Amino acid sequence: MEVFGSQVQVTIPFDAVGGYKKSFVQHNIYREYYLFNLYFENQFIDVNQMDTRLRQYRPLVSPLMSWPNICINQTVLSEHTFTVYIGVFAEDVQLTALMVTGREYIGDVMNANISEVFHPNFTHGYTLGMRFNHPIVPMELSEEGILKYTLDMNFTLSIMPAMVESFYHHATVVAVFKDVFPPIFEARCYEKGISFKLDLGPFAYLWAVYAGPYPLTEVFAMEQGYHLTNTSEGQILHVPLFTTGYIYKYIGMKTFEATFEILARGLKSLKVKGTTVKTCQFATTEMIVCSPKGQVTIVANLSAIPSAGDPYRISLLNRTCGAKESDKSLALLTFGVQTCGTKVKLTNDFVVYENEVVFEPKILTEKGPPRLAMEAPERITVQCAYHLSGLYRLFQLHKFVSDYAGVGSIRHDPHFVQQKMVFDGNDPAAAPLLNVSSAEEIMADKPTKYSKVVYFLKDLVKARFHP
């Protein structure tokens, strides 16, 4: 308090004891004023020393003050996190709700981080942190490699403690990156397969890596026999030959080509954004390929078969299906799963097609009537198993088409001994096919029988469908 002649100047801090504060919302703006009840007493003394006192009561009201909201984008792109500050608020204002892209929450919910920031003048504000890859943050990636994240926020602030009046603040912040393109993986051939260097870069969270149609996870890699290792430069994937995902072409007696495809899909849309395809040439060994169209290609090991180099003595169960090529160590055969005497049987989840590589024995004519040579080669059984879930068109359209390639196997049975058979050497075509029963031979020329899906379980209890 200061006295200037006949005037008295009184200065009262807003936070002084005895004052009152009134806050309210007007036109979505927080406003406040302060009220003080002043008590004055004037003392007058006349010439006769008479004491006269004048007491007055006066309310003192401060000017109306407004608190405009301030929203500051403090985002650092390299941190891949939105950081937004909103303030400055009086002590009786509290953040009561926050809506982000249409979802309402408050506090540390859905991996959002909301913290309160206090200032020396008894005001405060709030800081919101949210990762760019948060599920509720919209993302746009253009063909030109422009990546944009948009954070749309609606803050609800209420006057405490009654929370009768509230005001709101809407803000939108955008983070933009340039030259963001799907990863192209480095691939190379090695003796027993193909390897890929899976370097996804700083935007790894944008992509889902697929091995063909299958998501490439550590569990899937282990189940399929892949070798997935982590290095300081990223992940290295080794894909051995004859594991899931390969496509085989140009299969010959000496070499064949194998192709493996790695896809980079959008993590949310799962649309293919990038493709890495690697084709390598490998030396041919014993192998079997079961295509989605039901075409089976076999390269069989004949090293244990006497006189294996003669292709005219090698066939499948149906003798009209012979080898395309053969030498003393390998034979190349191709056939459809509905041809060449192929048997079919049902397991819990698979339809299994089975055939055999048959070797016609030599006909001996020396020292007596024609007779079969006493050869005892291995039995070679080949199988292709197709998952039932991919064969719905087989039963609906009566046409073999699978959504997935089959899983093949080749089994050698060295203990199988052919029957000793004799026939008229003048008519070798009349000789029964070894390893095939008479009933199978009779049915060998019958057309394939199909069943509707609702009946196939009953019909497939038979050992096979007979082509």
Quickly count: other Cβ atoms within 10 Å of residue 412's Cβ.
Answer: 17
Give the distance, in angstroms, between the CA of residue 3 and the centroid of all CA atoms in the same chain.
80
Provide the residue-wise pLDDT of the chain in tens; the chain has 467 residues: 787 877 878 888 877 888 889 999 999 999 999 998 888 788 888 888 888 888 888 888 889 999 999 999 999 999 999 999 999 999 999 999 899 988 877 654 444 588 999 999 889 999 999 999 888 899 998 889 999 999 999 999 999 988 889 999 999 999 999 999 888 889 999 999 999 998 877 888 888 999 878 899 999 999 999 999 988 777 899 999 988 889 999 999 999 999 999 999 988 788 898 899 999 999 999 999 999 989 999 999 887 766 555 667 788 999 899 899 888 888 999 999 999 999 999 888 899 999 999 887 655 445 555 544 445 455 789 999 998 888 877 766 677 888 888 889 999 876 443 332 322 223 223 222 222 232 233 233 333 333 333 333 333 333 333 33
* 217 vs 194: CA distance, rounded Å: 18
pLDDT at 378: 59
What is the residue extent of each domain of the chain? 12-66, 69-177, 186-283, 287-459
In this prediction, residue 133 carries a pLDDT of 86
> Which residue shows structure tokens 């209420």?
158
Question: Does 287-459 match 69-177 at the fold level?
Answer: yes
Please spell the DSSP secondary structure of 12-40, one letter per residue.
--TT-TT-EEEEEEETTEEEEEEEEEEEE
Sign, Cα dihedral of 199, 203, 204, 210: negative
**CATH fold group of domain 287-459:** Immunoglobulin-like (2.60.40)
Residue 77: predicted pLDDT: 94
Q: What is the pLDDT of residue 55?
A: 84
**Rounded CA separation 322/201 (Å):** 52
Cα separations in angstroms, 343 against 249, 320, 331, 351? 25, 16, 21, 10
> With contact defined as beta carbons under 8 Å apart, do 328 and 304 qualify?
no
Beta-carbon contacts of 303 under 8 Å, excluding residues fewer than 6 positions away, are: 328, 329
CA distance to 11, 24, 39, 43, 102, per residue, from 60 (Å): 11, 19, 10, 22, 45
CA–CA separation, 71 and 127 (whole Å): 10
DSSP string, 317-336: SSTTSB-SEE-SSEEEEEEE
CATH architecture classification, 69-177: Sandwich (2.60)
At residue 450, the 3 state secondary structure works out as coil
- CA nearest neighbour of 391 among 443, 338, 442, 435: 338
pTM of the model: 0.62
* HEC per residue, 237-295: EEEECCCCCCEEECCCCCEEEEEEEEEEEECCCCCEEEEEEEEEEEECCCEEEECCCCE
Of residues 295, 260, 274, 259, the one with CA closest to residue 386: 295
β partners of residue 278: 260
Which residue from 146, 110, 116 is spatially nearest to 130, judged by alpha carbons?
Answer: 110
